[in-house]
Each structure stands twice: as C-alpha cells, then as structure tokens.
Structure 1
Amino acid sequence: MRQQGAWIRWEKAVERKVTWAELWKAEPQRLKFLIQAVYDVLPSPSNLHIWGKVESLACPLCFKRGTLEHILSCCSKALGEGRYRWRHDQVLKAITEAIAAGVEWAKSSRPSKQAITFNRAGEQPRPAAKTSAGLLATARDWQLLVDLEQQLKFPNHIVTTTLRPDVVLFSEASRQVVLLELTVPWEDRLEEAFERKLAKYEGLVSECRQAGWRAWCLPIEVGCRGFAARSLSRAFSLLGIDGVRRRRAIHNTTEVAEKASRWLWLKRGDRWGAK
C-alpha cells in the first residue's frame, strides 16, 4: 500500500484528467502503462522479485535494485547514455513550442481601444474587469533562446556567465529577461527539484537585476510519468499563456513526458544506440 499509494503525496502536481474522448482514441498499451506506472505495479525487476517471478531484482543496465523509480529516473548507466537527456529534450521541445506560439500571438495582437461606458443618473459605475496580459504582451521584440541541438550561450550583453538555462527569453526594448529551467523528476521529488534549480540561478538573476534588467527565474517540473507540477502552470500564466492555450500546452507537455518515459521503459534492457 505504501508503494501503490505514493501518488497521494504528489501535492505539487497538477491533477491530470483523461476524458472519454481521449480514452477512446488512446492505445490500450499506453493507458496500461500510465495506470501501472502511477500505482507502481509495472513488472520491474524489483516487483517481479517481490511477486516471486524472478530471483534477481537487478536493473538490466547497472545491476542495482531495479525499481520503477530507478529505471525511469535514477539509473547511472541510463543517465550516462543520455536516455534521460533525450526525454528531457522531448519535453523541452513541447514547452518551447508553446512559448514560441505565445510570443507570436503577443506580437500579432494589438491592444483594443478602451470603450466608453455610459451610466444612468444615480447608477454606480461597474468596476473594470481585471485582465492579466502577461509578460509577453509588454514587448514586441522578444527573442527566444533554447538549449536544444546546440549549446545555449547566455547573452553576454546582459551578463557574462557559464550557466546555461534551458530557455532564455529576453526583450532589448523593455530590458526584461526570463530564465526557464526544466527538470523531469520522479513525481515524489517535484518540490525538491524546484528548490534546487531556484537556488542554482538565484545569483544569475541578481546579476541581471544589478545590470539594469528586470529578471525572473522560472524553474518548471514535469514528472517522468506525465504529471506536471504547478510551477509549469504558473510559468505559462506569468508569460501570458492562459486559458485554453495554457491547458492545451500543459496537456501536450505531459503527454510527451509520458510517451518518452514509456519508450525508456520499453527499451530498459536494450542498447540505447538502437533507438
């Protein structure tokens, strides 16, 4: 029960809803993986040993205890071969696509003219509706740098540093810079990953502010079983990716993480070069 009920401790994760339409369209094996992964009942070497199916509980790659957590998140051999980096980059691509679409939407949108509201004599004026346009609406010259395919180099004209956030979004005109750092951890460690990345880039954010830039660091986490942390939703909202666009972006991101982890699971004993 402790193992299968671990999901109740995912306090920082956003609830994930699977609609009937998605159930009808989804592959049965994909749904099976998602459900078994959440409750940690996949046939990992550790579980097979507990069930009396095999004698060895060793990971097929590094020969340490082969739990599901180990295979999807902690195996040193998988890390060295770049398996986790491959999954990280798949998730980063999905997030970057949503941000790039948000940048283009902000560039093409024009502020609407303020309508004049008339009130009858003695009638109290209605309070204006509050809108949160987000950072992307504050400038039209946003530039997006992503640590994919080629190593990201932090813009030297802002600050000179060897740190490489996953995403750097900056505007010269408004002197704003946003750093986004993605982690794809085991869902039990979402909060730990957030605090670790926030501390890592705290100094860089301070240097940017001292150089006259408004700076934000947005650590974002997407669990390796496809459950996004609340930090992802907050980051999209701060940028101005809200409503339906935000829900679609989170759905696409979590689905990519889940599919990538399923691929790692299926290839857990194979040579990674054969992917």
Structure 2
Amino acid sequence: MVNEIPISAVEKLEQAISKHLRRWLGLPPSFTNIGLYGKSTKLQMPISSLVEEYKIAKTRLLLTLRDSSDGKISGAGIEVRTGRKWSVSLTVEQAKSSLKHQDIVGTTNKGREDSPQLISFVRQGEKKPTKTMCIGILQESENWDMLVDLGEKLKFPEEVAHTTLWPNIVLWSRSPKLVVLVELTEPWEERCEEAYELKKGKYQDLVDTCKERGWKTWL
C-alpha cells in the first residue's frame, strides 16, 4: 500500500508537516520549504523534505528492480507507480540522457578561458560586421518605466498585475513584456540567507501572477 501512494498525497502531507514546523519554530508562514529543509541555509534542520525522500525511495526501487541480477525480476516490466504529477521512470531516463551527453561532450567551461575561438572571414573590400552583445536585464528593452518607494507607499502598476504588495522598486517594459521587482533589506550578516528566503516567499505569488499574465519576471 505504501508503494501506491501518489506524490500529490506526499506533497499534501509535507505541507501539513511544514506548517506545524514553522509554528513550532516561530517562523512566518511565508518561510519557504527551501529554507526549512535546505542543507546550505543557516537553519539546517536535521530532517529532510518528505517529497525528496519519497522521490529517492522510488528511484532506488526502480533501479533495484530494473538492474536486478535475477532475470525474471529485471525482465518482468514491473511498474513503479508515483501518480500523474511525477514519473520516476521519466526522471531516471532524463538523468541517463544527461550523463550520456556529458560523456560525449565533456564538461563545458562556462568561463571565457579555454573557450573556442570563432574566426569570421570577410571578403575583400567588405567591412567586418559588428555585433552588439546583450548583457544584463536592462538591455532586453529600450523603453522602461520605473516606480520607486521614496517614503510613500508604492502602487504596483495595474497593467502588470493587481496586488496590495509594494516592492521598493518596480521596473517594467510593455514591449517586450518585462518586469523587475526589487526589494531592499538590511539583515544581520549571519541572517542574509534567511532574509532572502523570507523576501522571496513574500513576493513569490506576485511573481507567479506576473508570469501567468505573460510578463517575463525577475525578483
């Protein structure tokens, strides 16, 4: 019966657990699960996400059955069910494809060093074309509007989304539809990550609403 539990039921159970954990720790409801279960945050609780443990257990079960030394088991085609929302077999196949791609291509260097140098040939009498590199968010549009909270409550632009929240700075472009939310905070140095998680949780619904309305959004 345990193996037949869908991931949606596990997610609901984790939500209930997280709610009680926040209340017990005195944390606000906006504190995200990343901050609650993350291993790189300041909190670092000695517990793991129930959803992550569920995924690990399902993946281990699939690999155990598929790679069994007993041919009757490995060839039986036993299906590991997880519900409609998440597929363990698809996740394993994607991981295999990613590893296979790394074996073929190798680890790419994201820095400028050791990057391949492209040579562009120019015909005699012609000038070498100049390329303009787009660097940074603000380079994605030439027409920006900006609102800044200077002691007065900032009203979020209705054309982007309807909300009662007011970030310190809002920049938006109508064409293309881009919006940047800037929220300032002054935490203690040892609480920077916690403050970031709190701010992120506060505005996550607004970010999702902007994206649903077709705005490319940054926070």
Q: Which has the higher contact order (CA 8 A, sep 6+)?
A: 1
TM-score by length of 2: 0.40
Larger-gyration structure (1/2): 2
